[in-house]
Structure 1
Amino acid sequence: MASVTTAYTFMHCVLFLLLTVRFSSCFMNWGDGYRRKVSLELNPGLGPSLTPPPGVGLVHARAEGVNDTLHYLFCSQGAPALLLVHTNSSSSTLEVDWRAFLARNTSGSLRVEPQNSILYSNAVVFTRLWEYDDVNDTADPSKVPPSSFLAPYELQTFTWADLNATLDPVSHTALLCGGDGGDSFSNGSLCLKFSAFEAAGREQGWPSLLHNANSSQISVRLDGVKPRSNGSRFSLELQSVGGAYPMSRVDVLRSIDDEYTPSIFKVSQWVSSPPNSSSSGLGYAQWKPVAYRKAKPVFEDATPCHHSLPDPLARLPPSGLVLAFYTEGSHSPTTGLNISFSITGDPYYNTTNYLSWTVLVGLGSAPMDSFSTLVLTIMAVGLGSPLLIILLGGVWVCVRGKATPTPAAYEPIN
């Protein structure tokens, strides 16, 4: 009887722990059920009388909510850029004056109407790719002598492939690949893959960033580019242009869970927030501080990356999209930073001739990974096992005490 009672108690405790873990996992990891209706279009409103220059394209992803809309604009005119515009109307539209837009000299040639419905806007521009000869293996551009830096690749001068060939309206993605036409890019390319999302989730491949319905993603890939030195390392320059509140600081957050990005316990967020505020409630660019040296990486192919502090800049970046939407001056503050790849002792770029890095761009607070099912299970077992042992021990003592006959107070004398 005691063994049956103990077995039932044990089964009930285990079942309770498993249900607790399952419920907590669902609540913590998949609680964002908000969805948007996303549509993708290339060169919206462009008539047959105009033909963009080769490699110039404008992708418009419209993410409609219940009473608001997110407009993502991904453009290859000049330096490639991603512009996010949030409106408080579910019927806001994009208007492009194509003649002025292609001329790249008219602010206001690209608008979101009605303009008084715009709540927030921000653009992330990929301006330069820096290459340096890391002769001392420091993997730190700030410690490299100026003579070790090679001429930067100005992305505004790149020739880009036709976006029409890579646009996928079903998966809401577009792939932009190009090069500078020189010897280094004769058999290689720099590619940027844009993705828009309808709901919360994550992509399968590392770094598997968690996204939601208020976010988009850019994956950067340097593939097959011929390095100009035996010890080449790279750094990517980004610039951000905002409305009232530009992305002005980078927060580094820590975690104890690396299930989706092995060995990486940090996340970096370049955030837009009001002055003297610790919140990140307006907009962000988020990334894991890791890059990969192979297209299908294993653990050994991961390499850390680092960011510089954001610096204010005096001029708008050389992007046709930014110049068409924003006005030069104090109303369009600009900041910039560099993302450098690798650490001391890591292989140089020429070992694989491949490098990939991913950034999430979105509205509001960035989605954050909570404890995964695996970690919750470990915590439940670690905390629940002692309690279970105490509980089972108490039950065993009680049952054992009842089963043992109580001796009489006096023993008869024979």
Structure 2
Amino acid sequence: MNEATSPSGFSSTGTAGGLKIFNITHTDDGVTFDIHISDIKLVSPDGGEAWFGGTHKTIQWKTRTTGGTVDIELTTDDGDSWSTIASGVPNNGSYNWTDIPMVFSDQARIRVTLNSNGHWDTSTDLFNVIGEVAVPTTHYPENGAIAVETNPTFQWDAVPGANGYHLQLSMEEDFSDLVLDLIQLPREFYDASLLLPYTQYYWRVASSSEVGNSDYCVAQSFTTGSITEDPETPILIAPAHLATNQPLDVLLEWEEAGLADTYYLQLSNNAYFTDPIIEMGEIEETSYRLANLQPNRNYFWRVGAVNNYGSSGFSVARRFGTGTWVSTEDESAPALENQLFQNYPNPFNPTTTISFSIKDMDEEISLVIYNTRGQKIRTLYKGMPASSNMNVNWDGKDESGESVSSGIYLYRLRGESFSHARKMLLSK
């Protein structure tokens, strides 16, 4: 080959035409290959794209000269056979392909041919034509699995062209009552938590794309074993914080904590819980009635949860008073340490409460929501703490007031000398 056989401009950056070396074969005698020189260069699709059936895309090319017409073809088997997309298309550099076929192929290429001299060019690499997005193949938990952990990671194969996945979990075989119903999961896995021990579950997943959703995969069943994670931290209900005029046999109540077997209660006459008046464990209910309290006194109480795997931290402490006497001290109970508690409810839709305690009231703090990519969604609180024990609500919206999508979010409590973070799940 000499310079005269090469079309002018093929070696210049950004110009039409090109040299392709393909069918490379290594032999004992050396290397053999084919060379293709053309006055036309296909620009798009050039490999790696995912084009969906029923949509429209623009095929683009460049030529050394203008005018004339081109023929455009498609192969879905890497060149073994070709079908015509359009013939006699004006050679103006682009064609709007409005009838992408409803087929599935990961071996697609486009070929554009100049009718004036027969020169042609194809996509450099294979691209995908997706008539409909495929049903995912599940991996874990396997169908019929037993003794599965209570915080399993659901896993399935990535589906070409999928831009999200829809996961459902139920204790009913017909999915009439859903434990989880998550849409637009961005990855091929999901870290679940707080499943009930020794319980049969059913799960299924579908893939979604810009042209629609696949069917769900065949439902998979599994049975959990013993608890493999700490229980949730209880949320106190009554008496309300700073309540006064409570009876001497006041009933303490709290929310049921996920995976809790029993509860542990502390009652003290000081916020530091030194020398508690009551330390009661093995409480099976979500309430406990006190007795023989002193009139006109302030009391502090908190509750933790316990299971066979471990225990939660204590709840945010609350204070109540018997009689009508009100302390002249600060209205918040001092905290022994900086703590960030699990939000409640969790999963939630659309509002949840985040509770935390702050030891140093002179330290500026911030509470910020992030997505799983580390992008800040919203600052819920920033400044000096209003009290030692705080509750902040999140309504599932970002800084601009727009509702965010379902999924896992992180919330981080940060001060000058500490940083704590937890995960929560918004499920719509």
Bigger relative contact order, structure 1 or 2, given CA contacts below 8 A and separation 6+?
A: 1
- Which protein is bigger by CA-based radius of gyration? 2
Shared fold (TM-score greater than 0.5)? no
Name whichever structure is richer in helix by fraction: 1
**TM-score, scaled to structure 1:** 0.26
**TM-score, scaled to structure 2:** 0.26
